[in-house]
Amino acid sequence: MRTIAVVNQKGGCGKTITSINLAAFIAREQKRVLLVDMDPQGHATLGVLSGAVGSPTMYEVFVTEPGGQPTRLRHITRSVRENLDVAPSDIRLSAIPERLTGVAGRETVLAENLAEVRVRYDFAIIDCPPNVGLLTFNALRACSEAIVPMDPSFFSLHGLGKQLETFDALEKQTGHRITPRVLLTLYSGRTPFVRAVVDEIRGHLSGRHFATIIRYSVKLAEAASHGLPIAHYARYCAGYEDYQALTAEVLQQDAGSPKGERITLADVVTPTEDDDSERPLPPAVTHAGVMFTVDAPDAARVQLAGDFNDWVLDGNDMNPVGRVWKRVVKLQPGRYRYRYVVDGVWQRDPLNPAVEPSPYGGHNSILVVDEKFAE
């Protein structure tokens, strides 16, 4: 089981929206996911369950009333949908630090409970509260990876240093090591300041941030208010596209491949040119050239646009093969930007984590063709 805490002591930077949507998209990839809500505000719980939540919640896992039976994490999980469970929270969690004052082992309650369910789930995603207290410490002791969402503002840059210091301090104190990665969220790209923050992050955090950037997308807030992840609410919006790309990036790390700035053809499988599999793939080499594949079962028309065809749509239709669409292009060695155009909607390649913001909005996918694979 991979345990990922979504943590930043700064409020309102997209922790909960990231936890909910990453958990839901990973579950759609046939992985079993537990979303753990460690915030007394209970927003992650509300974002996936509609209606009253009621007891028991994480509170009971931490606090056993005198004479009561201890409650374990596995007793409180609720099923959200196939492959996705939630361990809910409620406002009583805010009393936990006080209730557990002086209790031995209070910082490892979550870690011990998660250890008991590690064969039931492939992923645990922990949504943290916006402060560094006992609840956040429990999440950090339980995880080996952390996603640090960050909205591009001056205060965020200031807070980020402090947040990264927390991981270092924890490692010094306890020997427990966490791999943090920063995720830019709520990106509007409109002001030079925002673009400067992005450059700063990329410059200073090489390898410690996600290539995916989460754009501002009003549908994300709308979906959460209906108790739904974006994956089950709206297909054609920036929020869907971005969290799908983040999921691909997280799962790619799972496969053990190094997190790179780019995808190269050396990394991917090489089906034959007449491959009629309906499996969506990142760009792959064939005898006839580079094969692009995109999953769009409901589309009427899909086109491929990129540097290699001057972004011209006419004459660059992809061919339907079952639920996927394909097109093979001969490419010289080099670095290319491209996008799929699904029924007129421009989108990045959801299976390729390498992207860069486009000056026209959204993101372009990046492909690097190595010498040995080129025509």
Ligand X SMILES: Nc1ncnc2c1ncn2[C@@H]1O[C@H](COP(=O)(O)OP(=O)(O)OP(=O)(O)O)[C@@H](O)[C@H]1O
Binding residues (CB under 5 A) for Mg ion: these are 15-16, 43
Applying CB under 6 A, among 185, 247, 252, 293 the residue interacting with ligand X is: 185
**17 near ligand X (CB under 6 A):** yes
**36 near ligand X (CB under 6 A):** no
Ranges within 237-256 binding ligand X (CB under 6 A): 239
Residue 353 makes CB contacts below 8 A (sequence gap 6+) with: 210, 211, 212, 245, 248, 249, 252, 259, 263
The distance of closest approach from Cβ of residue 43 to Mg ion in the complex, given in angstroms and rounded to an integer, is: 5
- Between 45 and 247, CB nearer to Mg ion: 45
Measured distance CA(48)–CA(36) in Å, rounded: 11
Taking CB under 6 A as the binding criterion, the range among 191-199, 220-228, 283-291, 342-350 that sits at the site for ligand X is 220-228
Question: Pattern 221-240, binding to ligand X, x per CB under 6 A?
Answer: x--x--------------x-
Sign of the Cα torsion 147, 150, 156, 158 reads positive
**13 near ligand X (CB under 6 A):** yes
**12 near ligand X (CB under 6 A):** yes
- Between 189 and 271, CB nearer to ligand X: 189
Using an 8 Å Cβ cutoff, are 44 and 78 in contact? no
- The amino acid that residue 185 corresponds to is T
Residue 141 makes CB contacts below 8 A (sequence gap 6+) with: 107, 108, 110, 111, 170, 174, 176
Two tokens, residue 320: 């339907």
Q: Which does 13 bind (CB under 5 to 8 A by kind): ligand X, Mg ion, none?
A: ligand X
Three-state DSSP at 128 gives: coil
Place of tokens 């980020």: 160
**15 near ligand X (CB under 6 A):** yes
**283 near ligand X (CB under 6 A):** no
- Between 136 and 247, CB nearer to Mg ion: 136
Ranges within 122-151 binding ligand X (CB under 6 A): 130
Measured distance CA(296)–CA(287) in Å, rounded: 25
